[in-house]
Homo-oligomer: A and B are copies of this chain.
Amino acid sequence: MKEIRFEHVSKSYGKTEVVKDLNLTIKEGERLILLGPSGCGKSTTLRMIAGLEDVTSGSIYMDKQKVNDVPSGKRNVAMVFQNYALYPHMKVIDNITYGLKVKKMSADEIKHRTDAALEMLQLKQYKDRLPKDLSGGQRQRVALARAVVKQGDCFLLDEPLSNLDAQLRVSARKELVKIHETFKQTLVYVTHDQTEAMTVGDRIALMYQGKLQMVDTPDNVYHRPANIFTAKFIGSPPMNVVDADFQQDKLLFNKQALQLSPEWSRFIQETGATELAFGTRPEHIHLSKIPLDNSITGQVKQVENHGSSYGVYLDVEGQEWIAMSETKNWLPNETVHIEIRMDKIHLFDKETTNSIGYPKNFYGE
């Protein structure tokens, strides 16, 4: 149970800077998700916490102690690897207890911890098997058990569910949350999967090209994205983010216009922004064959079946939009009317790609 703090941490391999000036505080006992596409530096960040990678510049602290030069073995962290990293020649029980035995822990204590972990992860009947005789899900649980018995200060997980199939992943992530709620260690979890991030995390740290994009709760990351990257990365299908001009109290898409609320209009005027990117989630769009108040029009390009609803790809003044619809009765090239939930829109500065924020009193602030 320790706080982990990154202060201006950078990491380079040769000339490639994979983590750039990272400042991040991981609170004691929280579940922090490091989320991002492959190559964004999230795994490297996790490995720097474990001491498996050197820090090129900056400092990492655990509570008050600077740990840059503390070797891995002295940091008291437990880690679950993507490939599980089980010792192939050791039985399940030996995999779990080996790390404790080399520490010369008392046999009683080892047994106590191991029994609890085997129980919690339903591994009792597999304890004499070799890893190769286990299914993927069982191996993953053994890796978890091995990390759990260590009772380290920090619990680090590197894409722990990515080798499981979709069904298993759902139950595994629930199990993980349960384990964390038992031990309450500081948990850092690396994933590229936004669903895992949303469901497991207390907070999400989104990274892209080595840079931290946003750190906040899943709700805020989803509903109040700090920049265009975050807006488009979180949510499936992704948010529509298109170019728009602001004039008086309207958003212009070429010749078409959307009326903004007085709060938004005043707010945009205050910030002085003119070149904007406009964001709206596909599920906040309502399509109609007949004209609606404050709507714009677009042409249907393609309809995709998503099961519970249909994804309708639209051409709106030369930009591609996607809207979710309950029905599939949309014909290619048909002109449709697009109504947007104006209380759920997002606006970004086109140059900095940052959100220009939200009007005060709009979200009850």
Contacts and interface: CB of A to CB of B under 8 A. Distances in A.
Interface string A192-208: 10110011000000000
A198 B165 contact: no
A174 B308 contact: no
Interface in A210-231: 218-219, 222
Contact of A302 (B177, B192, B222, B313): B177
Q: What is the copy number of this chain in the assembly?
A: 2
Contacts of A281: 308
A305 B218 contact: yes
A307 B222 contact: yes
A74 to B, nearest CB: 36
A328 B174 CA distance: 16
A261 interface: no
Interface in A324-360: 328
A8 B307 CA distance: 31
A219 B174 contact: no
Contacts of A308: 222, 235, 281, 283
What band does the interface of chain A fall in when counting residues whose beta carbon is under 8 Å from B? 20 to 34
Given A37-B165, A305-B218, A199 B311 contact: yes
B199 A234 contact: no
Contacts of A165: 37-38, 192
Contact of A170 (B192, B222, B237): B237
A236 B194 CA distance: 14
Given A165-B38, A302-B174, A198 B283 contact: no
A4 B309 CA distance: 31
Contacts of A305: 198-199, 218-219, 222
Contacts of A167: 37, 232, 238
Contacts of A219: 305, 328
A53 interface: no
Interface of A: 37-38, 165-167, 170, 174, 177, 192, 194-195, 198-199, 218-219, 222, 232, 234-238, 281, 283, 302, 304-308, 311, 313, 328
